[in-house]
Amino acid sequence: MTCNGPNSFEACATHDNDSDQELANECSRLQTFSTFPSHCPVSALTLARAGFFYTGEGDKVKCFRCRATVEGWQHGDSAAGRHKTVSPNCAFINSVSVWRNGVPSVLPNSQQRTEDRLANTNWQQSSEPSSDLYADYLLRSGQVVDLSDSLYPRTPAMCSEETRLRSFHNWPTYALVTPADLANAGLFYTGVADQVECFCCGGKLKSWEPNDQAWSEHRRHFPRCLFVLGHDVGNVESVLSQSGHAELDRSEIPNVSLPKNPSMAGYETRLKSFLTWRYLVSKEQLAQAGFYSLGDADNVLCFHCGGGLRQWRADDDPWEQHAQWFPGCNYLLEQKGQDYVNNVQLTHSLHGSTINETENTSHIGDEELLRNNLVQDVMRMGFSLDEIRKAVERKRHLSIEALVADLINAQRENICSLPCENTLQKSLSTEEQLRRLQEEKLCKVCMDKTITVVLIPCGHLVACQDCAEAVEKCPLCCTVITTRQKIYMS
């Protein structure tokens, strides 16, 4: 989190008294949060209660009294605690300095009239201070912790798994995780892009990537979530989750990737359609890949996407052909994953479906390379077309990770093969060279783990997976990160 104290200008400036008096009212401060980011982990009510009003920039807030600003709020932050850290002498946060017999002797000027009036009406009738003001003082002075953002579940209306599932009625078609898996993991759709929120802890997840698992990502990013930890937080499982086969009311559930031919959804049913199959491709493999026979020559259809294939050869792999011709099939993606589909698409785009290992040295044209989206991504990282062609012709790559790793290793080999003119370099001991090599592979952010992620579009290799996910800009060049690509380096 980033905190900024009042600068010299603000500290010396004379603020408008009317504005100060208006913002001294908590309701007035709360009204300034009308455009405050909804994804901020600290609520507007808590911030307003701690003396802050919204500046209109990102999640930056400012104290109406001391003019200190705070931004970059994170889960677990205390509004009052951060306020006191950045501005320990703020008159508002330190409004009650002395307590005598349970009654405050000093009150903030901004609330003097209100609290004096309450004191005259309430405290004269009782030896105990007003519970509301007393609680407010304890909150501001840090003697107690504001639990308004720590109550579980955070969204009680989404305790039911079926209710969470219904929130996905406009879930984007490009999203890589199914609503059923997300709802089962305690997540509901916020209506923004592919962002979801946990009904229990309030944690939000977005920018889903291939092979992401709802439960795993929930547990990885919010390990303290009581729902993830298995506590009873009022979750109501759906009938489908409890029985494993019961049907939900489909009229209330979003139409997410329903099969074209549900009657062929079962493997055994599809296998029975191949009773008269006399062709070289295994009927078991075809059925496993989602296909059933039409009884007309070797024509088959996928029960889910409805894609049809024919003219099978003995060496054809049904899963591979499925991925080549119908990469968007949800059954295919669920069974094999997005990485598998990407690898098949890359292989067939660069080499053609009939290339074998002995033909890898054949020349690949520039146009063929440039048509491939993955090659374009690698070029945006700074690799030349010649480097990419040499790497592709030398070895059959099944993924962008393997291609990028080989390109990086090739560059290092070229550097090492150049004649060394520096005599000091020649005299380096083996241990020193090993130490430098190990340092070169260390994450430049945490300096602990090995670099495993290339940042796109700048193409810099500077971070491990954990650190790469924690930053929005490249630590080296400050370019905004659009994609984080994991690689494996030799």
Contact between residue 105 and residue 80 where contact means Cβ atoms under 8 Å apart: no
In the chain, list all ranges with CATH 3.30.40.10: 430-486
Residues of the chain with CATH 1.10.1170.10: 1-148, 156-243, 262-336
- Residue that the structure tokens 């491939």 belong to: 372
Question: What pLDDT digit, counting tens, does each position of 323-349 carry?
Answer: 888 887 889 988 988 878 877 776 665
Q: In the prediction, which pLDDT does 49 show?
A: 83
At 185 the pLDDT is: 92
Which residues lie closer than 8 Å to 322 by C-beta, 6 or more apart?
Answer: 289, 290, 291, 302, 307, 309, 329, 332
Per DSSP, 450 falls in state: B
- The pLDDT, as a whole number, for residue 47 is 87
What is the distance between the terminal CA atoms of the chain, rounded to a whole angstrom? 36
Assigned fold of 262-336:
Inhibitor Of Apoptosis Protein (2mihbC-IAP-1); Chain A (1.10.1170)
User: Given this model, what pLDDT does residue 398 score?
Assistant: 44
pLDDT at residue 251, as a whole number:
37
- Cα within 13 Å of Cα(60), Cβ side: 11
Question: What token pair was written down for 52?
Answer: 């802050």
Residues 86, 68 contacting (CB under 8 angstroms): yes
> What is the C-alpha separation between 60 and 71, in angstroms, rounded?
4
In contact, 290 and 329? CB cutoff 8 Å: yes
Q: What integer pLDDT is reported at residue 61 of this predicted model?
A: 94
**Class of the domain covering 430-486:** alpha beta
Task: Give CA–CA dist 152/259, Å, rounded.
Answer: 37
Question: In terms of CATH, what superfamily is 1-148?
Answer: Inhibitor Of Apoptosis Protein (2mihbC-IAP-1); Chain A (1.10.1170.10)
Residue 3's nearest CA partner among 46, 48, 45, 63 is 63
Supply the DSSP symbol for 247: P
Note the pLDDT of residue 380.
64
Which pairs from 107-114 meet CB under 8 Å and 24+ separation? 108/65, 110/20, 110/21, 110/24, 110/64, 110/65, 111/24
Query: For residues 84 and 76, what is the distance between their CA atoms, to the nearest angstrom?
Result: 16
Residues (pLDDT < 50) of the chain are 1-15, 96-135, 138-139, 141-150, 241-256, 350-362, 397-398, 415-428
CATH number of 156-243: 1.10.1170.10
DSSP one-letter string for 45-81: HHHHHTTEEE-SSTT-EEETTT--EEE---TT--HHH
Please state, in angstroms and rounded to a whole number, the distance separating the CA atoms of residues 68 and 51. Answer: 10
Using only the alpha carbons of the chain, give its radius of gyration: 31
φ, ψ of residue 480 in degrees (nearest 5)? -65, 130
